[in-house]
Amino acid sequence: MMPGDNLTLVATAAAIGMSIGYVASSQMGTKSEPTGRPSGTSSGSHSKDGVRGRFLVGGNWKCNGTIESAKALIKILNEGGPIPLNSEVVVCVPAIHIPLALETLRDDIAVGAQNCGVNDKAGAYTGEISADQLVDMGVKWVVIGHSERREGFEMAGEDSALVAKKVKVATDAGLKVMFCIGEKKEDRENGVTMDVCAKQLEPAAKLLTVPEWSYVSIAYEPVWAIGTGLTATPEMAQATHASIRKWVSENVCPDVAKTIRIQYGGSMKGSNAHDLIAQPDIDGGLIGGASLKADFMNIWNSVL
């Protein structure tokens, strides 16, 4: 046997082993089903209407986290105590951390993505991750239309027509969507907050069927309050949420307006979450900076 033959044998055996493993896994099903996640615990009672998860508490990690820091944060969440029965908790992590979260995050916190492609099939879409691929991994939620993506990162941002198409593609694939809308500071000062929100909602209202809205939560994020430390007062937020719900009733369907969850997403944290979520039309939050800290648990406990 020549010196290089041992390496050839090892490589061949490894390839055969990988192939056998692939065939076996393929025979078991086409979708990846994460197993062995730690079990979570619940506390409190269901909502008055008997529905679990009346409040939606979403964490958006944005472009943050190394493998080690992600592991550390997941450990904090796993040890964070019971989640109230009347709330649903989701963390939307960077794409590179989705497998880690699906394998190690407690099973009562859903894993979400922060974006998906507008493509509804596989193919030549370099750099994109399709909604079908996310579903295949076991992802349940996706954030679409966040103001940071609408604005763009030294490139053209996503307009409302594109955002609506992504929402449609995602819901068609079976993903639940946190559909972000919101006004800039000058819009608020000029009294056109609802005009801006309506223009962002209109394309989606034209594309989605009434049943498809059951996959959607609207995340109202005043752009001027994202990452600035500023936040709308509970009364300001409630007024806008009520206007959004009224718009949905008039332009989509009254039944959808009654059941759709509208999250608040402008610098919500443990110290202000209770007063915000106590408002009748605020059904949770989409949390950025505070979702990277233990304070995130204070937010999910604020619904008690």
Residues with catalytic roles:
146, 221
Q: Tokens 């979260």 label which residue? A: 101
What is the C-alpha to C-alpha distance for residues 268 and 276, in angstroms, rounded to an integer?
8
- Distance between CA atoms of residues 264 and 287, nearest Å: 8
CB 256 within 8 A of CB 216: no
Nearest-angstrom CA–CA distance, 72 and 292: 10
Radius of gyration of the chain (CA): 21
Separation CA 243–CA 246 (nearest Å):
5
Report the distance separating Cα 178 and Cα 150, nearest Å: 14
CB 13 within 8 A of CB 7: no
d(CA 273, CA 264): 9
In degrees, to the nearest 5, what angle opens at C-alpha 147 toward C-alphas 145 and 148?
105
DSSP single-letter state for residue 127: T
